[in-house]
Amino acid sequence: MKKILLTSLLAISGSLFANEVKVVDVKANCNANKVCTFNVTLEHEDTGWKHYANKWEIYTPKGKLLASRTLYHPHVNEQPFTRSLSGVIIPKGLNKVIVKGHDLVHGYSDDVFVYEFK
């Protein structure tokens, strides 16, 4: 009985996170003043207008929001997909940022991408 219960709990918990957004790649091109264009690749099991990845955001390691890119429609047949955001100002001395994905059902994913500037 314990084995069945444990197996059931693992299956349920796995399905809760199955549809969260995954940030699979981040690229940044920055000028000398550290004004950057970010290209972020997301993967998500978009099912339509009620459940899709609707944004990604860039944060400092201390949690300050630097930029947000809204996604206005589902990408059901386009996975993974990449979208860009220009004009992102990176504060002086910052050598990495955190990129988080968000979807309409699960909110922010626990899976984040740490991007380190070269």
Residue 23: both structure tokens together: 């940030």
Q: Which residue has the tokens 């930029």?
A: 67
Q: Is residue 14 part of a domain?
A: no
Q: Supply the pTM of this predicted model.
A: 0.81
Encode pLDDT of 101-115 as tens digits. Answer: 999 889 999 989 999
pLDDT score of 67: 98
CB 74 within 8 A of CB 47: yes
Q: Is residue 4 part of a domain?
A: no
Number of domains in the chain: 1
Q: Which residue has the tokens 């589902």?
A: 74
- Parent domain of 105: 20-116
Which ranges of the chain does DSSP label H, i.e. alpha helix? Answer: 2-17
CATH number at residue 35: 2.60.40.730
Q: Is residue 1 part of a domain?
A: no
Encode pLDDT of 27-51 as tens digits. Answer: 999 999 999 999 999 988 767 788 8
Q: Is residue 8 part of a domain?
A: no
